[in-house]
Amino acid sequence: MADPDTLSEPLARLLHELSTIFGKRLQSVATYGGNGEAEALTGGSAGDAHDHVHTLAVVDAIDVSDLRACANQTKAWDRRRLATPLLMTAAELTRSLDAFPLELAAILAHRQIVFGTDVLSGLVVAPVDIRRACEVQARSHLLHLREGFIQAAAEPRALGAIIQASARPFRLLLESMARLEGVDVADGNRFAAHLETTVGVTPGVVRQVLAAGGPKGISATDAQDLYPSYIGVVERLVQYVDAWQA
């Protein structure tokens, strides 16, 4: 557990507020950063900006009065760059591992306990559940790319906008597959090389798509050249994860 004296002032205040609301029912509070997979559990609401601190609060029980008390704090939390805490009971957490495998695997991997006991210790997401979620994620990404191409009528600037907007979801897809493979995705070039070896995709295309998500985006000419290869890479990812076995 983190040293209470080292906590930031906003996080220390959050712990005080949660303790006031839940009292002895508050078992544990963990931060888990702004990982996009884990953010999906909150629904990506406006208050859950990527630069906000994300927390999971595990409690014995939750009732409507607790939700009302938390609702009274949401504006203050947002001002202090705190995402609305993810509230779960220990039983819900355990029973949700197969329902939210990617999201909870991300929390398990990046959590830091800042209050109470580590109730997540020993929890493991089954590889079969991660594989299924990766397939859903990959197939959805492929369908959106195809639909986007049709709607853009192959216009280069419109294709560039689609590539730029899809770069972050694509990164999350790669991170999900890295988790499935047990590979560290922190080194983007290394993981791109891993994809080339195991999946048969071209690292250059992967790097171009990820770079397009930056502030400079991608030129219309480059987008027109990249889009077909981008679709091809995602098609290959779908085929790979569909046939994947532990």
| Cβ contact 239:134 at 8 Å | no
Maximum Cα–Cα distance across the chain:
60
Residue 5 has pLDDT above 70, yes or no: no
Please state the rounded mean pLDDT for residues 145-163.
96
State the average pLDDT for the chain: 89
Provide the whole-model pTM. 0.81
Cα(35)–Cα(13) distance, integer angstroms: 23
- Burial bucket for residue 180 (CB in 10 Å: 0-12, 13-18, 19+): buried
**Overall average pLDDT of the 226-239 stretch:** 96
pLDDT of residue 178: 85
pLDDT at res. 191: 73
* pLDDT tens digits, one per residue of 176-217: 888 888 876 666 667 777 777 888 888 789 989 999 999 999
Q: Which two three-digit tokens encode residue 131? A: 């594989």
Percent of the chain with pLDDT over 70: 88
Beta-strand (E) ranges in the chain? 26-31, 55-59, 86-89, 112-116
Residue 46 has pLDDT above 90, yes or no: no
Asked if residues 114 and 31 have their Cβ atoms less than 8 Å apart, the reply is yes
The answer on pLDDT for 138 being more than 60 is yes
Q: CA 202 from chain center: how many Å?
A: 24
Per-residue H/E/C for 124-181: CCCHHHHHHHHHHHHHHHHHHHHHHHHHHCCCHHHHHHHHHHHHHHHHHHHHHHHHHH
